[in-house]
Every structure is written in structure tokens, then in C-alpha cells.
């Protein structure tokens, strides 16, 4: 009986965005840890590990964010990259209020206040990736969704969240001050001091003047 022989699969290293920040998260980046934990709780098995390797090796070659819609290109086993689309469920803050001015200033300064989780918890929702609430699609033939290509994009978004915590609000449709985050990702702003961020908000809103 003849046996088919397959050439060994050589890992591909793309020239896309490399998710390097996930290996050693900055102290205090608890929101990124929660994001990564949400991916693990999807119980993707080996697909999660493969997806993380894809993200770290630069196989996510394109990443665009338009509100809660994310579209990406991910290199896989085939010559042409796969298309990944994610639609994050949009969130409406409770009637008793959303994020206050101080919390928004901290987010613009590169921090994430715990009041964000509290706001979502009051509505029985999660700000992190959630199967069933969020919609995942990939052009690959794998019937399991989320597949490893979708996992790669989720890990890549986690890498962006290290530098731009405001992305977490944007994905859920929460309003952000003008210029809080770039229109295409990953394009990061650099560090902003809290006092400077609050000053910008005061000038835009007239609050505190």
C-alpha cells in the first residue's frame, strides 16, 4: 500500500506587523492581560498558539480598523494571504453615565481605569473578544471559527492595545475625543503625559476653565 509523502512545512515569516509587546507586557497593562485571557477562554486549542506565532512572526500583513469593524490580511499555508473580518458588538453606556473626564484623560495618557470594566459589568457585557456577541469570519477553509488566522488578528490587536488602550473603546463604538487614535492601525501616537491629555480635553470642552 502506497503512502503519500508530504514535504515538511517550513514556518513562514512575513514582513507584516510583529506583535513583540506580548512577550513582556509592561507593568500595569492589566487590560491587555484581560484581552489575552479572553482569547484563551475561547478554547481554541492549538489554533490559539499558532495564531500567536503568526502574529509574532509578522504574518499579519494588513490591519485596518473602522469603528467596530476590523479587516486584516494574514499569511497562511497558501501563497495568497487570507482575509479576516471581525465585527465587534457595539456598546451603549448605561443611563447612569459612562466614563468621566478623568478616566478619559487617563486613557489618552496610555492607561486604562478600572471604571471601564465596571461600566461594562453593569450592563452584563464584556469589553473583550466574546464569541456569540462578536462576529468572526475568515476566507480560509478551516470550518472552526475562530481559526488560527482570526486568533492572529486578535493577538495583533492585543499588541496594539499595549500602546493604544483607547482602541478598546473604539472597537465598542464608545465616543472618543478627536485625535485620540489613528484612523488606520497599527499607527501609534507615542507617550502623552496625563496633564497634557487632560489639558487638551479642557480646551475642547471648556470644562474646568
Q: Are 117 and 108 in contact (CB under 8 A)?
A: no
Is 125 within the bounds of a domain? yes
Q: Are 33 and 26 in contact (CB under 8 A)?
A: no
Question: Taking 70 as the threshold, does the pLDDT of residue 192 lie above it?
Answer: no
Give the pLDDT band of residue 117 (cuts 50, 70, 90). confident
* pLDDT tens-place string over residues 72-114: 999 988 888 999 999 999 988 766 656 677 777 777 777 788 8
- pLDDT given for residue 147 in this prediction: 94
Mapping DSSP to helix (H, G, I), strand (E, B) and coil, where does residue 62 land? strand
Mapping DSSP to helix (H, G, I), strand (E, B) and coil, where does residue 208 land? coil
- pLDDT given for residue 98 in this prediction: 64
Record the pTM: 0.76
Is 40 within the bounds of a domain? yes
Counted domains in the chain: 1
* pLDDT tens-place string over residues 124-158: 889 999 999 999 999 999 888 899 999 999 999 99
Is 141 within the bounds of a domain? yes
CA distance 9 to 179: 44
* pLDDT tens-place string over residues 156-177: 999 999 888 888 988 998 877 6
Is 101 within the bounds of a domain? yes
**Which residues form the domain of 82?**
30-205
Q: Are 181 and 166 in contact (CB under 8 A)?
A: yes
How big, in percent rounded to 5, are the helix, strand and coil portions of the chain? 35, 10, 55
Q: First vs last Cα of the chain: how many Å apart? A: 84
Amino acid at each position: 500500500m502506497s503512502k503519500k509523502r508530504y514535504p515538511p512545512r517550513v514556518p513562514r515569516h512575513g514582513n507584516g506587523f510583529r506583535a513583540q509587546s506580548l512577550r513582556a507586557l509592561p507593568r500595569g497593562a492589566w487590560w491587555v492581560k484581560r484581552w489575552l485571557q479572553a482569547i484563551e477562554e475561547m478554547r481554541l486549542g492549538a489554533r490559539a498558539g499558532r495564531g500567536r506565532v503568526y502574529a509574532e512572526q509578522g504574518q499579519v500583513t494588513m490591519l485596518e480598523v473602522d469603528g467596530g469593524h476590523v479587516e486584516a490580511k494574514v499569511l497562511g499555508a497558501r501563497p495568497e494571504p487570507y482575509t479576516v473580518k471581525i465585527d465587534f458588538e457595539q456598546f451603549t453606556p448605561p443611563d447612569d453615565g459612562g466614563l468621566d473626564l478623568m478616566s478619559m484623560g487617563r486613557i489618552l495618557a496610555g492607561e486604562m481605569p478600572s471604571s471601564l470594566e465596571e461600566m461594562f459589568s453593569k450592563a452584563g457585557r464584556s469589553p473583550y473578544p466574546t464569541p456569540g456577541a462578536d462576529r468572526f469570519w475568515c476566507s480560509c477553509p478551516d470550518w472552526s471559527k475562530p481559526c488560527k488566522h482570526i486568533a492572529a488578528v486578535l493577538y495583533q490587536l492585543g499588541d496594539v492595545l499595549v500602546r493604544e488602550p483607547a482602541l478598546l473603546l473604539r472597537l465598542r463604538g464608545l465616543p472618543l475625543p478627536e485625535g485620540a487614535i489613528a484612523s488606520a492601525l497599527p499607527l501609534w501616537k507615542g507617550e502623552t503625559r496625563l496633564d497634557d491629555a487632560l489639558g487638551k480635553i479642557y480646551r475642547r470642552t471648556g470644562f474646568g476653565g
